[in-house]
Amino acid sequence: MADLRPSGAPGPAAAPAFAPLFPPGLHAIYGECRRLYPDQPNPLQVTAIVKYWLGGPDPLDYVSMYRNLGSPAASVPEHWHYVSFGLSDLYGDNRVHEFTGTDRPSGFGFELTFRLKRESGESAPPTWPAELMQGLARYVFQSENTFCSGDHVSWHSPLDNSESRIQHMLLTEDPQMQPVQTPFGVVTFLQIVGVCTEELHAAQQWNGQGILELLRTVPVAGGPWLITDMRRGETIFEIDPHLQQERVDKGIETDGSNLSGVSAKCAWDDLSRPPEDDEDSRSICIGTQPRRLSGKDTEQIRETLRRGLEINSKPVLPPISTQRQNGLNHDRAPSRKDSLESESSAAIIPHELIRTRQLESVHLKFNQESGALIPLCLRGRLLHGRHFTYKSITGDTAITFVSTGVEGAFATEEYPYAAHGPWLQILLTEEFVERMLEDLEDLTSEEFKLPKEYSWPEKKLKVSILPDAVFDSPLH
């Protein structure tokens, strides 16, 4: 539950006298807001009635809402500006976030902002963006995955629960708010930008930053400050069909995609001849504990994705190590996880007991949403000498497609299918990728019906696209 009230934040003149009453992290962010809005010292605020640190459901203590007059000369319309408080460390006493030093990120290192076009006659800001921001914050707190500029969020529903085409989000730096140094670390401001489904797909096929730049050039689609208009009825590709699509197509061809992996509903089966001993089985159990992704495997998958985002660097998969490690990256705070860390990595069998196995034949299974990304994986990643990882959201399975240009993979041209525990790697040659793209052309068709199966017998590879319910079964 949330409450709407004036913030009660002190104005510029009163700040020194009232500063001791304000938590230092909160006061630092208020200072940046006062810099932008000196005439709005007490904006309306949505506040969590029961704070998260007292057991409440909403991680954000506050969301402040300001009226921004825009800049008509720069084609920036009047809008409402929302700013969150709570993803960063507001208090510095470990009630929510662990203090890691003044030179490190404060809490998760960022706060969210959102700019919503003000409708004619609107005297007060709508409050639904505050709940949207709470939803994103809940995801961050529960998964401990942070956001970065250029990230996209698949929401699959109008952001304001209307009939709007704005159903997904991109994230970028707020154009006005500057990073602030607080007593508990640095805080940056990431702005939510509402986008249509077609724009989200373009961001996946190319990259979020490229689509954000296109949105900035179209005033009705966002303009220079990327203001969300929930009444926008056309995508940038409908507004300017030829120019925008040509720029995206050229970007995909030149840059490829910087999306190096997704959490997905997926599974794989070994169709090879059954192993002669149980220890080679993918379903191996030590005592009563089923095999799971080890800490080392988890770290490798995280590193795979991290390096996959570095477009200008040589694509490398970290080599398999036979030494036992705890899977922690000591360059980062151990309380924060990257997007593909296994939730069950604490319950594992020793890493050295899992042998890398070469498989003769494999069967890959995806739900429709995950399967629709296979052409992106092939065209935007593998044809550019990169890799792409699917990490199961219903288990410990991971599937990584690699090209011949990726070093350090345990799949090779001689043995293109290789497994390390439940992590499968598949190496595809450029020639085979081109063929698969032709055969999988109908994956994004609206007439697509489930289940659907694709097979390449001479390659001993089969791909099935199945209903979501299949992956909710205990067998997957």
The pLDDT, as a whole number, for residue 273 is 59
Same domain, 129 and 149: yes
Q: Write down which residue in 227, 255, 283 finishes a domain.
A: 255
Same domain, 243 and 370: no
Whether 42 maps to a domain, the answer reads yes
Rg (CA), the chain: 24
Whether 56 maps to a domain, the answer reads yes
User: End-to-end distance of the chain based on CA atoms, in angstroms?
Assistant: 36
Whether 323 maps to a domain, the answer reads no
- Of 268, 265, 425, the closest CA to residue 362 belongs to 268
Whether 299 maps to a domain, the answer reads no
Q: Write down which residue in 255, 288, 305 finishes a domain.
A: 255
25 CA to centre of own chain = 26
Same domain, 379 and 239: no
Q: Are 468 and 366 in contact (CB under 8 A)?
A: no
The pLDDT, as a whole number, for residue 476 is 56
The pLDDT, as a whole number, for residue 156 is 87
Same domain, 177 and 268: no
Same domain, 181 and 47: yes
How is residue 464 written in tokens?
Answer: 């099935």
* pTM listed for this prediction: 0.70
Same domain, 202 and 268: no
The pLDDT, as a whole number, for residue 144 is 83
333 class by beta-carbon count within 10 Å (0-12 exposed, 13-18 middle, 19+ buried): middle
Same domain, 162 and 217: yes
For residue 443, give the CATH number of its domain.
3.30.1360.230
Same domain, 167 and 268: no
User: What total of structural domains would you count in the chain?
Assistant: 2
> Whole domain around residue 404: which residue ranges?
264-273+354-470
**What is the mean pLDDT for each group of 10 consecutive residues in the chain (476 residues)?**
62 41 91 97 94 93 97 94 98 93 95 97 96 95 88 91 96 97 97 96 88 95 97 94 84 81 89 57 33 59 50 39 26 31 33 72 94 90 90 87 87 93 94 96 80 96 94 67
Same domain, 65 and 160: yes
The pLDDT, as a whole number, for residue 292 is 55
Q: Write down which residue in 255, 282, 297 finishes a domain.
A: 255
Whether 246 maps to a domain, the answer reads yes
The pLDDT, as a whole number, for residue 337 is 35
Where would I find the beta strands (DSSP E) of 255-377? 261-264, 266-270, 285-286, 289-290, 356-358, 362-367
CA–CA separation, 297 and 391 (whole Å): 12
Same domain, 39 and 163: yes
Whether 305 maps to a domain, the answer reads no
Same domain, 55 and 174: yes
CA–CA separation, 365 and 377 (whole Å): 15
Whether 347 maps to a domain, the answer reads no
Q: Reduced to 3 states, what is the DSSP secondary structure of residue 324?
A: coil
Ordered DSSP codes for 115-161: EEEPPTT--S--SHHHHHHHHHHHHHHHH-PPP-TT-EEE--S-TTS
* Residue 252 parent element (H or E): helix 241-255
Same domain, 76 and 156: yes
Whether 220 maps to a domain, the answer reads yes
How is residue 303 written in tokens?
Answer: 């590193």
- Of 180, 130, 191, the closest CA to residue 25 belongs to 180
